[in-house]
Structure 1
Amino acid sequence: MVVPLRRNRRFQLLWVGSAVSQLGTELTKFALPFLVLALTGSPGWAGVVVGTRTAAFITAQLPAGIWVDRWDRRRTLLLSQGAQLVNAAVLALLIVLGGVELWHLLVLGAVDGVCTAFGGPARTTAIRAVVPPDQLRGAYAQEEARGHAGRLVGPPLGAFLFGLGRALPFVVDVLTFLVSFLCSLFATVPRHPDTPRAAERTSMRREAADAVGWLWRQHGLRGVCFAVMAMNLLGGALLIPLIVLVGERGGDVLTTGVVYAGIGVGGLLGALLSARIGGLLPAGRLLIAILVLFGACNAAMVLPIAAWWPMIPLLITSLTTPTLNVVMNVAISRLVPEAMLGRLDALLTVVGMGLSPLAPVLGGVLAAELGGAVAVLVLGVGFLLTALVAAASRDLREFTDDESTA
């Protein structure tokens, strides 16, 4: 008898731990640019610090995915989370003692990015191991709700804690990593994936080439990945210009946190409505529609209504993204053999986020040179141009999750 997802103890422990950790990540993601601005006064340096973590994550992602397919998935998950716990504790201690410097943020951010590169594929294989195939859609919908709940609570809570003391968001982040580690420990994820014995394994280069070859043969998914790459670049670049825009309209740190809470509100609603929204359009056309919506909402953000106004366009855009994420995650989990899942999860992340390290730098430079409002508008034009290019691809337009699983 198959246990209902809500009673699947191992999955729910993984989910709770990840939900708590996601909250801590959102706290520090929001607080970190303000910390860098307080230390340097430069939006550009804020972008470099955030971009360094992303660059380390992308660089380590594919090797990490290959090793996750080879190693004990449970041990890999615990080691990556344990290293992040120690890394976060060092950062919090430096801030509490008043000795934090810019190079500390760069180095510790890079370490966190590498740990995340291992933890992501390890967690993907863990979910695949503890959730039956017919419950994957529900599991990934719950995963989407987790992420957006963190984005809802994280920014305003991060702003509140940062206002009380610079170190507080980072101290709370340490506690969330501890909870996540303990949840993963007690989840008792099956230890070994069904992979070839060490003597039968090919080289890492060959295993990476096999993953690249598989993706290249999936024509529709290949086009989706490149469109998502541009989408992540433009979306990631929005963080600093939007902070500057809210400041230009007279908003403070708390107002900025409330604005970013729109992402969480829309994402939670979108996760609940993902099945209904996903039935409106095939995945490829849904992606094109989302890109157009993002461009239009970016333009709406610059309307001189109030400092809090950008929250509404952010809420609207975030209604649609959970559906796309669920559709893609389910299709990939059903299609890819378990022994290859870590590599493909890593490869798709690398392709989709290939330009993401440039995003905060791009956003910081645009905000410094053009101001917040013009920078947000320029990024909106970028979304619309990406939608035009994506619409010109027949394979992308016709891509569906059913096509992937055929």
Structure 2
Amino acid sequence: MLLGSIGAMGETVVLGWLTLELTNSPLVVGIAMGMRMAPMFFVGVPAGALADRWPRHRVLMLAGAGQALTTGTLGLLATLGQVTLAHILLLTLAGGTLRALEHAARQSYVHDVVGGAALLPGLAVLGVAMRTGWLVGSLGAGAVIARFGSGAAYLAVAAGFLAGAAALLAASSPTRATRAQPESFWRSVIGFASSMRTDRSLVVLMLLTAGAEMLGFSHQALLPSLARDVLRTGPEGLGTLNAARAVGGILGLTVASMRGPVAGGGALFVTVLLSFGGSLLALGLAPYVVHFAGVVVVLVVVNALGALADLLAQSLLQLSAPAHLRGRAGGAWVVAIGLAPLGQLQIGALAEAIDRVLEPLLETLERVMWVQRYLHPPAIGQLAEVLAPQTEALSGPLRALEESAWPDDAGFIRERLLDVGRQTLDILAAFAAAARAPDDLVELFRALRRLARVQETLYPLAPAFDPVSRWFLDPARRGDDELVARLREATLRDDDNARRVGVLHADNERGSRGGFSLYVPETWDGHASMPLVVALHGGHGHGRDFLWSWLREARARDTLVLTPTSVQRTWSLMGADVDAPRILQMVESVAARYPVDRARVLLTGMSDGGTYAFLCGLRDGAPFTHLAPACGVLHPALLATDALARARDLPIYLVHGELDWMFPVATARMTRDVLTTVGARIVYREIDDLSHTYPRDENPKILEWLAA
């Protein structure tokens, strides 16, 4: 059993990995895993009937040799580079049929060897041996895949199955083994079905076992995607996750082996099942709360409880059946676990539905952001062509998501993804309509301004979905696995600081004016001081929207971002200054609640916000240590007063586009010259492909400059 189990778990690892490599689809991985289990539902009772008619150790030998043949064939095909998905599914289905025969014979053979009184500890010892094999098989398969490829791993699996079959050559049928009375095979099957109608406990045990298989053990279908796409640990990481399943089983069964005969077994079985369900909830959260080692620990607990549930199901089924039906009782258990593919397919389908939506959704949002950056009136037609294919690319997966059935406890994820997808399609439609009348720039800007609302709706899913979390980082930081893990863990923590971080708003609903929004990095430890960026929106803009122009970069660099909203439609560029006192009060309010690095307080802004950044930032007593106006001008009022004297030695990062149609680049050059004359420490960035739009690709450079 130990050698065969090495092959069985090794097959699980290489099957999941090879299928994911060929298809890149969690759904297909679920189908492939289902092919290992589906035959059990259909052939479980017939297999049990065979185990009652033939010497059970010979049945086990036949099943092991057959599985060696199926996995060895896959190994040769993969080594030669000829393996296809059809090969994998058909040969795995054949192996699953043989596995059903093995499972049905194994339980009753243990009863033959140890007797009913010692059945529970006997099955437990067998389970420990099997899971020790799983441990070796999972780690070994992961290592072989990483070094030699999936073909070599399948050949190693075949060797394990063959060695397990050979080890039974010297075995014999125990004297206590009871063979079924001579009768036709079909009458054997019918006879067991009749016994199920009269023994309701057998039916209840089968239903409970089936529920555990569908809802519990189906988590293994997600392990390949978890290892590769979430934890990013590769095939060796997948091997470790499966090894954790084996270790958990060993621990659970070791405890069970110390028990005597089952007393109150039914109540114990139900208790273990409930605990198993609770541990699965913890496993669902673990990748987003703890690192790889923590996920391994949770998997150990999950599978310790799962092994106990499995053991109790087997022993109770065997003890509830008369001696001549024990093989068929094992077959009933096989039928119950044969329902596992339903759970594996559902798990795989949910993961597939999410992946199918996220990929085109994030690609579409990236294109919208690109169009926003390169928006220029003469290029409207070309920019519309960039966005045009995304309507079709996103609509299909979104419809599939709408039509899919989700568990109630995951419904909120589905609804939020649908909301984000529909808002994104609205942006595409609005931009396409506005592009047909390119002289109306207002409608184009309105269409793109909706991007902020989409980001606000999507951001709460960042800790749940790795691709979303990475999208909310500037491109240079998206490959930083350590940063992504740190952000995930920080976002899901539960302490006093957790309520003080993230995206916060103070009287800043979109229908109101004069409030502010604030981003506090989720990774803030409650003590470290942070730079503060105060970012001013353009004319007719809103601070709640402009926050998203800075969040990506701030999130990766532990930086506070404060985005006020002007009292009027734009900043106080004419008449009484009603905005500066409020902005200064906001800065002090934030500094009173969070440790602001007073040597790094930046005031920046776009268009009217850039112009006002000069006015507000050069006020007497202003707290700003750095200025970074973008696409604005030097306000004439500054030239008529001595305010420019305050610019001496002040670091100023000035950004302007050569294509700016609202404030021609000549105004920026004049500003540069004036500020240089008064002694400001100028960094001047004149960008040749920038029109009158926010250059958020400058944000990382500005933050590096601020930190210097």
1:140 deviation in Å? 0.9
CA shift, 1:30, in A, is 0.9
Task: Give the partner amino acid of 2:21.
Answer: A
1:100 maps to which residue?
A: 83
- Give the partner amino acid of 1:358: L
Does 1 or 2 have the higher relative contact order (CA < 8 Å, sep 6+)? 1
Percent of aligned pairs sharing the same letter = 21
Asked whether the equivalents of residues 301 and 309 of structure 1 are also in contact (C-alpha less than 8 Å), the reply is: yes
Query: SS of the counterpart of 1:147?
Result: helix
1:163/1:51 CA distance change after superposition, 3 Å: same
Question: Which residue pairs with 1:29 in the alignment?
Answer: 12
**After the TM superposition, which residues 7-406 of structure 1 pair with which residues of structure 2 at under 5 Å, given as runs?**
18-165=1-148, 166-190=150-174, 193-197=178-182, 201=183, 204=186, 206-246=187-227, 247-274=229-256, 282-350=267-335, 352-370=336-354
TM-score by length of 2: 0.46
**AA partner of residue 345 (structure 2):** V
Which range moves more in the overlay, 247-256 or 312-321? 247-256
In the alignment, what sits opposite 1:5?
none
Which 10-residue stretch deviates more, 171-180 or 359-368? 359-368
Pair 1:156–1:52, CA change in 2 (3 A): same
Change (3 A) 1:272 1:214: same
Report if aligned partners of 2:16, 2:224 keep a CA contact under 8 Å in 1: no
| SS of corresponding position for 2:2 | helix
Answer whether contact 1:125 1:338 (CA < 8 A) is retained: no
Cα distance change, pair 308–232 in 1 and its aligned pair in 2 (3 A):
same
CA gap 1:124/1:92 in 2 versus in 1, 3 angstroms: same
Q: Which amino acid aligns with 2:237?
A: T
Question: Which is richer in strand?
Answer: 2
Q: Give the direction of change, closer, same or farther, for the CA distance of 1:28–1:184 in structure 2 (3 Å limit).
A: same
Structure 1 residues 87 and 380, CA, compared in 2 at 3 Å: closer, same or farther?
farther
Q: Distance in 2 between matches of 1:312 and 1:59?
A: 35
Tell whether the 8 Å contact from 1:295 to 1:381 is kept in structure 2 after alignment.
Answer: no
How many Å separate the matches in 2 of 1:273 and 1:241?
Answer: 28
For the residue of structure 2 that corresponds to 1:98, the secondary structure is: coil
2:161 partner amino acid:
F
Q: TM-score, normalised by structure 1?
A: 0.78
After superposition, the Cα gap between the structure-2 partners of 1:86 and 1:260, relative to the gap in structure 1 and judged at 3 Å, is closer
Greater C-alpha Rg: 2
Verify the 8 A CA contact 1:241 1:366 in the aligned structure 2. no
Aligned length: 356
Query: Match of 2:288, SS?
Result: coil
Distance in 1, matches of 2:134 and 2:409, equals: 25
Q: SS of the counterpart of 1:185? A: coil
- Number of the residue aligned with 1:394: none
Alignment check: 8 A CA contact 1:258 1:308 kept: no
The one-letter amino acid of 2:179's match is D
Give the distance between the partners of 2:234 and 2:198, measured in 1 at CA: 49
2 CA distance for matches of 1:325 and 1:40?
32
Whether the 8 Å contact between 1:47 and 1:363 is mirrored in structure 2 is yes
How far 1:220 moved relative to its partner? 4.4
**What secondary structure does 2:169 align onto?**
helix
Q: Per-residue deviation at 1:160?
A: 1.0
In the alignment, the residues of structure 2 paired with residue 333 and residue 193 of structure 1 have an alpha-carbon distance, to the nearest angstrom, of: 13
Distance 1:234 1:371 in 2: 21
CA contact (8 A) 1:74 1:189 kept: yes
Q: Is the 8 A contact 2:283 2:298 kept in 1?
A: yes
Compute the displacement of 1:183 (Å): 1.3
Q: Alpha-carbon deviations, 1:21-75, whole Å to 9, x = none?
A: 1111111101112111222222222222222232223222222222222234344
Residues 177-224 of structure 1 show CA distances to partners (whole Å, capped at 9, x for unaligned) of 221111111112359843213xxx2562x4334323433444445334
AA aligned opposite 1:42: S
CA distance in 2, matches of 1:256, 1:76: 32
1:178 is matched by which residue type in structure 2? L
Q: Contact between 2:39 and 2:93, CA under 8 Å: does it hold in 1?
A: yes
Cα distance in 1 for residues equivalent to 2:255 and 2:123: 13
Shift of 1:379: 7.7
Q: Which stretch of structure 1 is more off in the superposition, 108-117 or 48-57?
A: 48-57
Q: Secondary structure at the match of 1:134?
A: coil
- 8 Å Cα contact 1:224/1:284 also seen in 2: no
Letter of the 1:43 partner, please give it.
P
Q: Following TM superposition, by how much is the alpha carbon of 1:108 offset from its aligned partner in structure 2, in angstroms? A: 0.9
Offset at 1:326?
Answer: 3.4
- Asked whether the 8 Å contact 1:259–1:308 carries over to 2, the reply is no
CA distance in 2, matches of 1:328, 1:235: 14
* Aligned counterparts of 2:4 and 2:43: Cα–Cα separation in 1: 21
Secondary structure of the residue aligned to 2:233 is coil
Return 5+ residue gaps in structure 2 as ranges.
359-405, 411-708
Matching residue's letter, 2:300: L
Distance between the aligned counterparts of 1:143 and 1:44, measured in 2? 33
**In the superposition, relative to structure 1, how do residues 308 and 172 fare at CA in structure 2: closer, same or farther (>3 Å)?**
same
**Other structure's SS at 1:153 match:** helix
Partner of 1:133, secondary structure, is coil
Aligned to 2:680: none
Counterpart of 1:26, as a letter, is M
Distance 1:304 1:73, change over 3 A: closer
Distance 1:340 1:334, change over 3 A: same
Unaligned runs of 5+ in 1: 1-17, 383-406
Q: What is the RMSD of the two structures over their aligned residues, measured on CA atoms?
A: 3.0
Higher helix share: 1
> 1:295 Cα shift?
3.9
Report the residue type matching 2:137 in the other structure.
G
Question: Displacement of 1:381 after TM fit?
Answer: 5.1
Q: Distance in 2 between matches of 1:95 and 1:162?
A: 12
